[in-house]
Structure 1
Amino acid sequence: MTAALVIVPAHSASARTTTAQGDPSPRVVGGTRAALGEFPWMVRLSMGCGGAMYTNQLVLTAAHCVGSTGNNTSITATVGVVDLQDSAAVKRTSTYVYRSTTYGTSTGGDWALIKLASPITGVATLPAASTTAYDTGTFTVAGWGAASEGGAQQRYLLKAQVPFVDDVSCRDAGPYYSGLIFSAELCAGQLATGGVDTCQGDSGGPMFRRDSANAWIQVGIVSHGDGCARPSAPGVYTQVSTFAATIAAAAASIGGGGPDPGGCGPFTNANNVNIPDHGAAVTSTVTASACTGNASSTTKVAVDIKHTYRGDLVIDLVAPDGSSYRLKSASNDSADNINTTYTVNASSEVRNGAWKLKVQDLYDADTGYIDSWSLTL
């Protein structure tokens, strides 16, 4: 049987169960079992929804899974296990819920934050995508929801991959999707054949993929759909990049820490910049915005430079305040090109602002250019 993960979105034709907390309908159908520690930021919520650790004290989930904004001590979050009966599970009760103020409007916004009673020491968090750079491609979904439409929810965490479906194709898939909000929702699934999707019980869980630094980043939140893994019925997910700044502001307003360090970006400049032979330094700029707090101690700088003698080059990262971080010194390395990711401790720097990649050729005879670079703070 083809590995599949089916989640039925909360207000789908097959999602009809409503609790005091909301409507936790989506789930994973036909998926393969995840390994312990594979997705350590996955959260199971007691009302029958999923979520992801946004900080060590905040869970990002779907608005339709919870009630109104305010104090709430009725939700239990289970973290750190694949088997929900594992005695090693970490459990925390909720103290507060923040529900998106635009959920149910033409703006969209099926997201919510749940604040836990205390932080979870050492828990992994899942950075939220702050740009649209990763809103296409192949995504991963995971959850404890039902493994078949109308079936029981699962004891073990299941996973699967779902391909991106463009907005127009999703809207035209059937009458159910006519109200798709292009600016606020993403679609994914096997449009022609079905068989891979999210389903009832997976609502609020993350849809995620690898970024340019090969780190997991959350691009979607399980929201709704027409049944589970049906042909011409993709799953619909909250587009996280659209709401990243609003989510970060809400997190700051209720406390519980900021977004995961390293989780803002990537910010990319793909404009070519020629590097003069044995000449002055040149720079290429990216502007970080909608981030919170300081940069990470593991800030990632992905560099693609075309050059016929890379040992000639000195490369620095320049922060918005002018501070410089050496990425590469000159050497006797005669090989061509630089295509690598550097890690920098930039934790003393404010994230937002203009960051520069500074490159200088110190020797004669060889030339090249900055092809592209990206920064994840």
Structure 2
Amino acid sequence: MVELERELGLSMERVGALCRLIFNFRLIALTVVVLWLPSRVDDFGLLLGVLCGAAVASFLPILFWDRYGPILLRHPSLLVSDMFLSMAILTTTGAESPFFYFTLGTALLAGVLYGWKGAGILSVAMLAFYWGGLYLRAVVADVQTFQLIIGLPALYPLSAAGGAAVRNLIDRQTRVEAELADAERVSVVERERARLAREMHDSLAKTIQGISLSASSLPAWVKRDPVRALKESEQIVRAARLASSEARELLTDMRSDMLEVPLGTAVCSFLTSWSDRSGVAIVCDADERCDAGPETRWELFSIVREALHNVERHAHADKVRVVLGYDRDDIVLTIADDGDGFEIPKELEELGDGGHFGVIGMSERAERVGGHLELESAAGEGCTVRVTVPERIPAERGTTQ
């Protein structure tokens, strides 16, 4: 459902941009008409007033498409009314006037907004009005030329069909992009699962193997040294709890449903469950509308997980604050805790010497999607991780301390 809404939103955004371009074309045509009219029309004042009304009707959707666009989509009768007014003006000015190009914009809009069906219906109506107006003018003037009778009106269905074809291309491109995004999401999940499988082999498997070895030697210790056997059994219990915790973390990480919802929603959900499990208070200021492409979304979510994992294991913090939102065209993620903190070396890579491999991994994740990581910390003053990534297209890559 989320992917469908995202697909429809992107399609309507592109349709809106094209419609605004068509309305601009109509305004240019009206400007030419006003310059053309004075020496050719008797009742210039009345016609100028009507043209100003048509200009306002074209100018408002350019400025307020987000408001007028959905209304036009839901009520085709509005464009039909626009067509009636346009054809009436064309009858007055004559088909040979520049206003004809304004009416072509109406045909284009019909195709872009309503597709093939709308293009066909409105084209027939425009042809009927055009030939009706041509007949009325033929009573007082000789307008029986092939260009006026066949050539110009043929542009109505052609323009409407062109608009419908462009709309079809927009919808098709949007669907293809959505399919590519789905494929990218699946690829990201598979790569992450492969990484988790390696971690499972390196950590959980070794822990279970240690439990097995200790358990196999326990009967011998019971006979030879009951005290040592008791210590071994306690060690086995601790190792089993550790294995259970590691397995729970890995299974949680392998969940892919977090990619099915917007990033802000996924982060809020994860923070709530993490706080309940760890007992550390969370202050969450995540914009639930905040979202990005599948790979960026996954890397940011993984950074949140890794940062909180570090807080739980090393920081001894009482409270963590997480902020997720937009800064112009970037997504900014900030994770701050009030824990122990640590001294930051001059080079971020030196953190590996102190065992802070998680910070290096978070920085690498940010770089993979064209972002960068900033780290602020000092002994006894907590730690703040700030990640900035582009919302859509990765640009410059780098890490800033």
Question: Which TM bucket (shorter chain)?
Answer: under 0.3
Between 1 and 2, higher relative CO (CA 8 Å, sep ≥ 6) is seen in 1
Larger Rg: 2
Alignment TM-score, normalising by the size of structure 1:
0.20
Alignment TM-score, normalising by the size of structure 2:
0.19
- Structure having the higher strand fraction is 1
- Structure having the higher helix fraction is 2
